[in-house]
Every structure is written in structure tokens, then in C-alpha cells.
Chain A
Amino acid sequence: MKRYWIARGGTKSVEIQPDHKALTIVSRRTPRMGIGDTVLFLEGWEQVRFTATATIARIIPIEGDGAEDVKLTEVELEGASVLPEELDLDTMWYSLTIVRNTTRPHVHFCRGYRLLPKADFETIKKGEPFIARSGYFELLNALPPSLRAEFDAEQLLMAAGDAHERVRFREKFERLHVFIEQRVLAVGRLLHDLADVIVRVDLDGGPIEHVFASDAEPSKDGFASRFDDLASQLQRFARLREVLTEEIGEQAVNEQRDIIGDTLRHIDSPEGRSVETRFERLFADAT
């Protein structure tokens, strides 16, 4: 049966020859690749990308070369076809069923080559990501551990109510959005309102900053107790807000975007829904 492989260039075990015409593999055992299998190339240093596909034409073990216990194999390829550009690994990885380690997805792509399920190959070939799962894990991993733990606990409680039904990633993504709104973005709004009213109060005695601290305990290490300051945190939230509501192009000067809202609308659109349905089914089968 025809199989699919990822080959990652620049690793200890794989070297990709120019124009994707061949692979040189250094390994303990002879690679279990077969003629007719498809190879998907993963290349680049700063930005790792899926670049091209090719079919295996010949597999040539190279005898007597290299150190002991190491086999050198030359894999000749044909029919190389370049994928659409900008198919970044880190944009695509949460759309792949092989990515089970959702906090460290890169671990699935460290090796020089690995097998890839057909469905994952098709996902990459189409360049169509699983938006709900990608958005869910991107945002979840951005939360500090304590908040993440609370969200997970809330989900467990809710899952008890959901009975046997598997919760779709679209639902998980939306629940996470509500959680982030209430627990994190609400702090941004409070800080914003606080800074506003402070300006209105117009304190005497020149400009002054504002910091939040816990009761000063006698410090053990000689340093003053640490505090958080209003202005810096406000700035952090202002930048986040900017990214979340970036204006669309030049034509819409006052039209504010809402990335998360846009994402949900896209998922629920007819074209979005068919893509997401395929993924929901795929991941339900994979677990």
C-alpha cells in the first residue's frame, strides 16, 4: 500500500538534494520506505515550511560507507511538485492528527523522517487548516498555568453535563473565548476604566504613577516587595487589543475587526462548516 512520509531537511539523518530529486538518509535500520510512496518535504530554519511533494522512484542502499551500525540510503524521487507557498509548520500543526502533544507540537517533527497518515497528507496538500482546533490550542497555551488549570477544571465539570457526546472543537474554542473575555480581557477593561477615572480625579502634586502591591512583609532577601504597575500592564493590554481588533485594509478606516468573532463566523459559514466537519470527524476517529 502506498504510504506518505515527511522528510525534514537539515536534520542529522536526512539531507534533501537540490530540486527535490533525491534524499540521502543516514539511519540505523534501512528506512521502510517503498517505491511509489509519497514524500512531503519540511524545510527551513527560522520558519519551517512544507515545501513540496515527490514520489519515490528508487531506493539504493549504499554499501560499506559510513561508520559501523549506520546505513546510508539514497532515495531517488520523481514528479516533484511545489506546494503553495507559506504553508508554515506552526500554522498547520494543530490541523494534523499526529500532533497529540498540544503543548509542545514541535516534538512530532524533530526526526529526519516519519510516516504520515493519508488524511494529514491531504490536509497539508489542500493547505486547509482546522481553524477551531488551531485557535483553541493557540489561545489555551497562551494562558498562564493557573488560569489554564481553572479552565480545564470548568471543562471537566461541563463535560459531565454533556454526557457521552463529544464536544466539538468549535464549542471548546467558543467556551475558551468566553473564559478569556471574563477572566483576562475584563482585567484590561478594568485597568482602562481605572486609568480614565484617575485622569479625571486630577491629583494635586504633579504626575504620579500607580502600583499595586501586597502588604509589605519584612523582606527576607533585602529587596523591597515587588509590585505591578498600572501603566505597563495597560500598555500590554493596549497591544493585545490592537491585535485583536486590527483594522481591515485601508478602505475601512473606522471599521474594527474582531479576530475571534471573525473566526467563529468563518467556521459557521457554509464553506467553513464542511471543512470543520471533515476535521471533527477525523479527530473523533483518531482518539
Chain B
Amino acid sequence: MSKSLDLVRDLKRAAAYLKTAAVWNGTGLAVDAERDDYLYELLCYFHAAAAARTDFRLRIAGTTATTRNGKRAAKWPKKPGNKANFSYISLLDGKSGSHEQFQLCPGVKVTDTHGKARAPDISLQLAGAPAEPTCSHLAGIWDAKYTASKGSRVPDVAVADFVYTFQQLGRPTLPSTWLRCVTHKEWRCSGVLTNGKESTEPTAALITSGVSETSKYPSAAASTRP
């Protein structure tokens, strides 16, 4: 049997499996790392949850779904959505396991100081924040920017865009109850996270704006400015 025929046969088999993997199991939509940027947002979101894990008890709250085989499922947004339609993680007091301290929310809408809905990719909301939160319920926000080619920089406009959202949402500040527990630098200040390289914004500009920027996240080479 010739090696080249074997190779073609292997490629053919791989193509058959590629065909299945390249389509989403429920909606039948094409899989696409560029369009499905919510996956990177959720990856960052769960890393935030992991960072809070040491001092809080974490529990799924909000709206859940039931899968085809009848299992309970946390429901995460693909696009900015209404908080009432999705799950979030309730951060409970680490010792008692009750008493909500914060709500860690995925990309849900939050009404800004002028009544406009904005949707940071990740928001840390105060305990008891309602289903239609406003910026007064915010403790911190983060945006996650995925790039298909890891060598690319996060564009300056993505940082500028985030800074504007941050301002319109009243520049939420992370309370001491959070800062006392969470030691990971990227989660100690609202900001932008990317799997790519840092933007060309000077660090001083980030300081003035009160936001952070974390590049190559998550990886061993991740670094946060300022």
C-alpha cells in the first residue's frame, strides 16, 4: 500500500470529522473563532471566577436552561443580552456559604448614567443587583478582545472604546471586599484583556483613564499594565 494513498485516505477521514466539528451542535451554525468571540469572553469570565474562588463560594444564579437530555445547564450569552435571560455566578461569603457578596456577570446590558444600555463583556455587580442593572450596581467591568492571529496587537481603538464605556458607566471602583481577596493583577482593576499583544497606548494613558490592559491572556506570558 503506497504511503501517498494512505495520506489521502487519512485526510479524507479527518475531513469527515472536521465537517461535524465545524458546525455547532444545537443551532447548526458554522463554528468560527472570529465570530464566536463570546468563547474568549467566557474563558476570561471563568478565569475571574477562578481568581475569586479562594475567598468566595461560587454558585450559578439567574436563568438556567435544560439540555436535551434533561440536565440543568448554565446559560451564557453569545451576544450582549438581558441579564434576566442568562446565568451569572453569585459570589457568596466564603465561610457561611450564604450572603451574596457580588454577582459576576457575563456580557449583559447595564444602563449607563444617561439611560443608554451598554454591555461590558464581564461585569462585577454588587450583591442583590436587579435583573435590569444600572451603573450604580457596578463594582468593575472588563472587555475581552480575541484575535485569531496571536501576534496581533489589541487595537488602540478597542482600549479607547473600553475607556469610553467605563466612563459612561460611572467609572466603577472595585470595593475593598474584592481587593482584599483577589490577588490576580488583571482582576484588581477594570480593563481590557486580550490573547494578543498589548496595544500601543502608553501606560501613562491607561493610568490617567483608570483602566488596566492585560495581554497574552491567559498564558504563562500574560502581563498586566499599569
Assess the A243–B7 pair: CB atoms within 8 A: no
Q: Which residue of the partner chain, among A205, A232, A244, contacts B60 with CB atoms under 8 Å?
A: A205
A227-271 CB mask vs B (1 if < 8 Å, else 0) is 111001100110110011010000000000001101100100000
Measured CA separation A87–B65 after assembly (Å): 50
B226 proximal to A (CB < 8 A): no
Cβ distance A275 to chain B, nearest Cβ, rounded Å: 7
Assess the A187–B33 pair: CB atoms within 8 A: yes
Q: Which residue of the partner chain, among A134, A201, A216, A232, contacts B49 with CB atoms under 8 Å?
A: A201
Interface of A is mostly: helix
Assess the A236–B25 pair: CB atoms within 8 A: yes
User: A207 — which chain B residues lie within 8 A by C-beta?
Assistant: 71
How many B residues have CB within 8 A of the partner chain?
70
Q: Which of B76-84, B163-171, B203-211 contacts A (4 or more CB under 8 A)?
A: B76-84
Assess the B67–A229 pair: CB atoms within 8 A: yes
Measured CA separation A204–B39 after assembly (Å): 22
Measured CA separation A197–B53 after assembly (Å): 11
B47 proximal to A (CB < 8 A): yes
Cβ distance A209 to chain B, nearest Cβ, rounded Å: 4
User: A246 — which chain B residues lie within 8 A by C-beta?
Assistant: 10
A112 proximal to B (CB < 8 A): no
Measured CA separation A129–B67 after assembly (Å): 45
Assess the A138–B15 pair: CB atoms within 8 A: yes
Assess the B60–A135 pair: CB atoms within 8 A: no
Cβ distance A225 to chain B, nearest Cβ, rounded Å: 9
Cβ distance B58 to chain A, nearest Cβ, rounded Å: 5
B179 proximal to A (CB < 8 A): no
Assess the B76–A204 pair: CB atoms within 8 A: no
B221 proximal to A (CB < 8 A): no
Interface of B is mostly: mixed
Assess the A228–B27 pair: CB atoms within 8 A: yes
Question: In B1-48, which residues have CB < 8 Å from any A CB?
Answer: 1-5, 7-27, 29-34, 36, 38-40, 42-43, 46-47
A203 proximal to B (CB < 8 A): yes
User: B18 — which chain A residues lie within 8 A by C-beta?
Assistant: 139, 142-143, 180, 184, 240
User: A219 — which chain B residues lie within 8 A by C-beta?
Assistant: none
User: B60 — which chain A residues lie within 8 A by C-beta?
Assistant: 203, 205, 208
User: B116 — which chain A residues lie within 8 A by C-beta?
Assistant: none
A104 proximal to B (CB < 8 A): no
Q: Which residue of the partner chain, among A87, A138, A212, contacts B78 with CB atoms under 8 Å?
A: A212
B96 proximal to A (CB < 8 A): no
Given contacts A142-B15, A214-B81, contact A205 B59 (CB under 8 A): yes
Assess the B89–A142 pair: CB atoms within 8 A: no
Assess the B53–A135 pair: CB atoms within 8 A: no
Q: Which residue of the partner chain, among B5, B46, B80, B82, contacts A194 with CB atoms under 8 Å?
A: B46
Assess the B4–A272 pair: CB atoms within 8 A: yes
Assess the B74–A211 pair: CB atoms within 8 A: yes
User: B75 — which chain A residues lie within 8 A by C-beta?
Assistant: 211, 213, 227
B148 proximal to A (CB < 8 A): yes
B175 proximal to A (CB < 8 A): no
B115 proximal to A (CB < 8 A): no
Assess the A239–B33 pair: CB atoms within 8 A: no
Given contacts A147-B32, A227-B65, contact A233 B24 (CB under 8 A): yes
Measured CA separation A194–B39 after assembly (Å): 8
Assess the B46–A86 pair: CB atoms within 8 A: no
Measured CA separation A84–B53 after assembly (Å): 62
A62 proximal to B (CB < 8 A): no
Assess the A240–B17 pair: CB atoms within 8 A: yes
Nearest chain-B residue to A216 (Cβ)? B85
Assess the B73–A211 pair: CB atoms within 8 A: yes
Given contacts A198-B46, A203-B89, A212-B78, contact A229 B22 (CB under 8 A): no
A188 proximal to B (CB < 8 A): yes
Q: Which residue of the partner chain, among B7, B57, B71, contacts A266 with CB atoms under 8 Å?
A: B7
Assess the B74–A184 pair: CB atoms within 8 A: no
A-B contact pairs, 25 of them (CB 8 A): A91-B9, A131-B11, A138-B8, A138-B14, A141-B15, A144-B29, A180-B18, A183-B31, A183-B32, A184-B33, A191-B39, A194-B39, A197-B43, A201-B49, A201-B58, A203-B89, A209-B73, A213-B75, A213-B86, A227-B26, A240-B14, A240-B21, A243-B13, A260-B11, A266-B3
Identify the B interface with A (CB < 8 A). 1-5, 7-27, 29-34, 36, 38-40, 42-43, 46-47, 49-50, 53, 57-60, 64-65, 67, 71-82, 85-86, 89, 92, 97, 148-149, 218
Q: Which 3 A-B pairs have the closest CB atoms?
A: A144-B30, A209-B73, A215-B81
Known contacts A184-B21, A240-B14; can you find 11 more A-B pairs with CB under 8 A?
A128-B2, A135-B11, A201-B46, A202-B53, A203-B60, A208-B64, A209-B73, A210-B76, A211-B74, A213-B77, A215-B82
